[in-house]
Structure 1
Amino acid sequence: MSITEKANKYHEKMFPSYVSKFLETDPEFIERFDNFAFDEVVNNDDLDDRARMMAILATLMGCQGIDEYQTMLPAALNFGVTPVEAKEIVYQAVAYLGIGRVFPFLHATNDVLTARGVELPLPGQATTTAENRLEAGVQAQVDIFGEGMKEFWKSGPEESRHINYWLADNCFGDYYTRGGLNYQQREMITFCFLAAQGGCEPQLVSHAAANMRIGNNKAFLIKVISQCLPYIGYPRSLNALRCVNDACK
């Protein structure tokens, strides 16, 4: 076997003029991986390169693949993902992964962007204030999940009701209302955060349903899972697929 022409062409688009050291140290492995990830997988469906790269970045954050993220972020930028879009993926990850896991990715993103001559900070994308973030967050929940979310922020036992409040004003009011990404893109990356980190099956089913409700249909989600499989492996990919199927019941 050898690395296919299609795999080589895709690799060159991601990393122009870069020759991997693995060709010398691990030639058999890199031959099989490149042929799978950069030919068989990317040519399996019609998911566009920008969506694929956004999904991969979110997936790498979800599985804590910081080294691969630092490698793939320049490739994502080469495929047209904008600095604002990349930053918005990182910011939204805090709501689903926590700052403890996102902190290294924020540093890595800044380093990559600075190295490419991007001036920081980027143009602001906030659309809410301290006064209206709750109202805007509730509306975002309603837009994505339906009218049943209108009063969710004040539901639940008194001792834990504040968490549903925070879900509305912080997760949705602070992040989903920002510019840079639309609702479909935000729900796609949320799906990837949850699928990649594992252990979030109830939330993954819920967000699979939300994706499908706003236009990211089952076929689209299967494409996303397929394109991210090389980065998170089969168990979590199959688990994500099961959650998508459960959301359709």
Structure 2
Amino acid sequence: MKVGIAPQEFIEIATHCIPFCGFPRALNAVQVAKQLFAEQNIDVTIEDELLNHVDERRERGLAKLQEIDGAHGEAVADSLAGIAPLLAEQIIEFPFGEIYSRSALSPGQRQLVTLGALTAQGRCEPQLHVQ
């Protein structure tokens, strides 16, 4: 926060990392952030802008997938359709329809967070090539 990241942005960064790092790591990051905010007497109120638009998740996800990954994203989803159709739908709806569609971070900030998360984990070269 000393470099100008707002508390809401920190929580959004942790949320953005869920598809790359998993829920446990993101939850751990949020827990640490909550402790830090409490120690600093920082009141943080996060409002989920998409909460009332769950029914639009698939359409939003398809549009965001096309915007970010173009034909490559569609190919990944299509490749799963025959063996794990539910996984293909979940990829469209959660990372793209929920995470990437949020407005708290710019597309450039999201790109940097994604690159940082994948690089820090190691062994993510295939995902880094998509970026």
- Report TM bin, short chain: 0.7 to 0.9
The question of whether the paired residues in 2 share the 8 Å contact of 1:134 and 1:169 is answered with: yes
What letter is aligned with 1:187? Q
Runs of 4+ in 1 over 6 A off after TM superposition: none
Q: For 2:98, give the aligned amino acid.
A: D
The answer to whether structure 1 residue 86 and structure 2 residue 16 are counterparts is: no
Query: For 1:165 and 1:198, how far apart are their aligned partners in 2?
Result: 27
How many positions carry a matched residue from both structures? 131
Higher relative contact order (CA 8 A, sep 6+): 2
Match among 145, 155, 160 for residue 84 of structure 2: 160
> Where in structure 1 are there 5+ consecutive unaligned residues?
1-76, 208-249
Asked whether 1:186 is paired with 2:110, we answer: yes
Give 1:195's aligned residue: 119
Q: Which amino acid aligns with 1:185?
A: Q
Preserved contact between residue 154 and residue 164 of structure 1 (Cα < 8 Å) = yes
- Identity, in percent, stands at 23
Mark the CA change 1:128 to 1:184 in structure 2 (over 3 Å): closer, same or farther: farther
Task: Judge conservation of contact 1:95–1:171 (CA < 8 Å) in 2.
Answer: yes
Q: Counterpart in 2 of 1:63? A: none
TM-score (normalised: structure 2): 0.86
Shift of 1:142: 1.2
* 1:167-222 C-alpha deviation (Å, 9 max, x unpaired): 11001111111121011111211111111101111011112xxxxxxxxxxxxxxx
For residues 85 and 50 of structure 2, what CA distance do their matches in structure 1 show?
Answer: 26
TM-score (ref. length: structure 1): 0.48
CA deviation map 1:74-110 (0-9, x unaligned): xxx1221111111100111111111122222110011
1:139-154 alignment runs, 5 A limit:
139-147=63-71, 149-150=73-74, 153-154=77-78
Among residues 33, 37, 41, which one is paired with 1:109 in the alignment? 33
Matched, 1:170 2:94: yes
Q: Which residue of 2 aligns with 1:244?
A: none
Name the counterpart of 2:20.
96
Per-residue deviation at 1:134?
Answer: 1.1
Between the aligned partners of 1:198 and 1:161, the Cα distance in structure 2 is: 28
Gaps of 5+ in 2: none
The answer to whether the Cα contact below 8 Å between 1:85 and 1:181 also exists between their aligned partners in 2 is: yes
SS at match of 1:118: coil
